[in-house]
């Protein structure tokens, strides 16, 4: 995906994304730190752009684990930004597995969440194997999930550093 198109995306406008800082790398790329309009204290976001083509090489979304939630309750805004981040960076992919992962994240609920559905989503048990693994990492019950596809790699990981727990969602585009 072209960085200019990313800036024109629904993801960019809905979450009021803006550039915070640019770091020029030695390999003809620039890492651009981005910031959302709300909840900046819980969200870290950046993309890596190839300088010569302006194509996005990958992106990283880091969310505070306690803000995301867990099996008891999940934050709707955290689900939305995670889902939208994946959709925005993988929009050129026509892949049923990515679609299922995105739908699964958006529709998973914690035990104490009360959601009224117009149309009930596909149950967890009926999801693709990879989607189940991604959802379990998203909910904090598993440590990591990696999906390698021909044109991209998606990696979910729960990390802890300095007593802070974070959910990392990384996308590499080939």
Three-state SS sequence of 92-126: CCCCHHHHHHHHHHHHCCCCCCCCCCCCCCCCHHH
pLDDT digit string (tens) for 35-54? 999 999 999 999 999 999 99
Give the separation between CA 143 and CA 157, rounded to whole angstroms. 6
Q: What is the pLDDT of residue 159?
A: 97
> pTM for the complete prediction?
0.95
Which structural domain range is residue 74 located in?
3-173
pLDDT over threshold 90, residue 94: no
Q: What is the pLDDT of residue 76?
A: 95
Q: What is the pLDDT of residue 91?
A: 77
pLDDT digit string (tens) for 119-160? 889 999 999 999 999 999 999 999 999 999 989 999 999 999
Question: If residue 88 lies in a helix (H) or strand (E), which one and from where to where?
Answer: helix 76-89
- Give Cα separations from 161 to 45, 64, 166 (angstroms): 17, 11, 8
- Overall domain count for the chain: 1
């Amino acid at each position: 995906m072209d960085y200019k198109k990313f800036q024109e995306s629904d993801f960019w406008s809905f979450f009021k994304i803006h550039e915070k800082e640019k770091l020029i790398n030695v390999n003809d790329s620039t890492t651009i730190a981005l910031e959302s309009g709300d909840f900046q204290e819980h969200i870290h976001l950046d993309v890596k752009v190839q300088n010569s083509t302006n194509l996005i090489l990958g992106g990283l979304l880091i969310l505070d684990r306690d803000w995301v939630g867990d099996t008891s309750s999940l934050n709707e805004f955290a689900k939305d930004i995670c889902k939208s981040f994946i959709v925005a960076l993988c929009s050129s992919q026509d892949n049923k597995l990515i679609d299922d992962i995105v739908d699964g994240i958006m529709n998973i609920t914690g035990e104490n969440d009360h959601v009224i559905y117009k149309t009930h989503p596909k149950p967890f048990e009926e999801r693709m194997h990879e989607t189940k693994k991604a959802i379990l990492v998203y909910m904090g019950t598993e440590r990591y999930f990696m999906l390698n596809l021909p044109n991209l790699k998606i990696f979910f990981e729960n990390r802890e550093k300095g007593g802070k727990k974070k959910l990392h969602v990384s996308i590499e585009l080939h």
